[in-house]
Amino acid sequence: MRRFLSPRELKNRTRVSEFFLAGLSDDPDLQPFLFGLFLSLFLVTMLGNLLIILTVSSDSHLHTPMYFFLANLSFLADMCFTSTSVPKMIVDIQTQSRAISYFGCLTQMSFYIVFGCLDSLLLTAMAYDRFVAICHPLHYSVIMSPRLCCFFVLVSFFISLSDSQLHYWTVEQLTCFKDVNISNFFCDPSQLLRLACCDSFTNNIVMYFAGVIFGGVPLSGILFSYYKIVSSILRVPSTGGKYKAFSTCGSHLSVVCLFYGTAIGVYFGSVLFPSPRKDVVASVMYTVVVPMLNPFIYSLRNRDIKCALWRLYSRGVSS
């Protein structure tokens, strides 16, 4: 007698065991160059952000809300975010093996979304910090208390975890895939939806809705904060006062433009002009290049950081 499979058994039979990442290039002559390049970029990212964290934690002049958020941004949003995809890519280039297990793929995707969403939310918290500092300077120390700063970081983490779990649940519902080749160097949730055998319209709606909520709302908060900041700066009578007020936002604004510029380019580009090669290049920008540039932006454009780095260097030389 023929036995009918239960939904759980059918699900286990049709689900793939592993995926294959496309990587950056199939040319064997380019592999040593790509290995050296991305290993160097990864090490620079780690060392640069670690130096920012060390500088902020060791210098009492930088124990302020803005640098508290900066240290968290360097660790959670830059070091951890880069570590979700780049080490795997470097190992794949070296070993010439691009396979990743099903659960390994979902795990990588989950951590990628957690730290990517954290990046967005911490940038929003930093924008609010600049808004309070410029628009309400007399009440800054009262509003931006250490308790509120820690609350912002904890809430950002739990929101990011919720976003990650929503994406994980959406992809986990997919029972089979028409292909196991992912045209990127990491497990992108949008790529997994495209590979699904079943109609993923509902899943696409859920994911894009989550992208709008978890990405659009923080961006709206940043834009609103800068609208109020610019309005306040324009009321300053002297040109020097305007420059001094706006210079405190220059580094943060540069990082926001880099992060959201590349992320929005990937998001809308994949919808309007689907191209696997362009998606890979854009993904490299916001997963590798932007986290590497953030320490340089904050150190080269920030007098407090430069002075703290010099004091840290002087203490090291004297000791």
pLDDT of residue 129: 93
Does residue 12 surpass a pLDDT of 80?
A: no
pLDDT of residue 301: 65
Residue 5 lies in a domain: no
Does residue 8 surpass a pLDDT of 60?
A: no
CA distance to 29, 88, 109, per residue, from 34 (Å): 10, 13, 23
Surface-to-core class of residue 160, CB atoms within 10 Å of its CB (0-12 exposed, 13-18 middle, 19+ buried): buried
pLDDT of residue 194: 78
Return the CATH number at 152.
Answer: 1.20.1070.10
The residue among 25 and 277 whose pLDDT is bigger is 25
pLDDT of residue 269: 61
What are phi and psi for residue 20, nearest 5 degrees? -125, 125
Residue 126 lies in a domain: yes
User: In which band, very low, low, confident or very high, does the pLDDT at 4 lie, cut at 50, 70 and 90?
Assistant: very low
Residue type (1 letter), 114: V
Residue 201 lies in a domain: yes
Residues 6+ apart with CB under 8 A from 312: 54, 55, 58, 59
Of the given ranges (51-65, 96-110, 130-144, 166-180), which has the lowest mean pLDDT?
166-180
Residue 1 lies in a domain: no
Of the given ranges (88-92, 135-139, 186-190), which has the lowest mean pLDDT?
186-190
Does residue 127 surpass a pLDDT of 50?
A: yes
Residue 116 lies in a domain: yes
pLDDT of residue 266: 65
pLDDT of residue 72: 92
Surface-to-core class of residue 203, CB atoms within 10 Å of its CB (0-12 exposed, 13-18 middle, 19+ buried): buried
Mean pLDDT for the stretch of residues 250-257: 83
H-assigned helices in 173-289? 189-194, 201-211, 217-234, 239-247, 250-272, 276-284
Q: Which of 121-130, 161-170, 239-248 has the highest mean pLDDT?
A: 121-130
d(CA 308, CA 59): 6
H-assigned helices in 59-145? 65-72, 80-83, 86-95, 102-135, 140-143
User: In which band, very low, low, confident or very high, does the pLDDT at 155 lie, cut at 50, 70 and 90?
Assistant: very high
Of the given ranges (46-55, 57-66, 78-87), which has the lowest mean pLDDT?
57-66
The residue among 151 and 238 whose pLDDT is bigger is 151
- Percent of the chain scoring above 90 in pLDDT: 25
Q: Collapsing DSSP states into helix, strand and coil, what is residue 22?
A: coil
When divided into structural domains, the chain yields a total of: 1
pLDDT of residue 203: 66
pLDDT of residue 1: 41
Question: Could you tell me which of 234, 216, 244 has the C-alpha nearest to residue 120?
Answer: 216
Tell me the average pLDDT of the chain.
Answer: 81
The residue among 227 and 190 whose pLDDT is bigger is 227
Does residue 164 surpass a pLDDT of 80?
A: yes
What are phi and psi for residue 51, nearest 5 degrees? -65, -40
Residue 261 lies in a domain: yes
Q: Collapsing DSSP states into helix, strand and coil, what is residue 186?
A: coil
Structural domain boundaries enclosing 269: 17-306
Q: pLDDT digits over 78-110, tens only?
A: 899 999 989 999 998 888 888 888 888 899 999
Of the given ranges (44-58, 98-112, 145-159, 289-303), which has the lowest mean pLDDT?
289-303
Does residue 5 surpass a pLDDT of 70?
A: no
pLDDT of residue 121: 92
Residue 7 lies in a domain: no
Mean pLDDT for the stretch of residues 56-70: 87
The residue among 3 and 117 whose pLDDT is bigger is 117
Residue 292 lies in a domain: yes
Mean pLDDT for the stretch of residues 36-45: 93
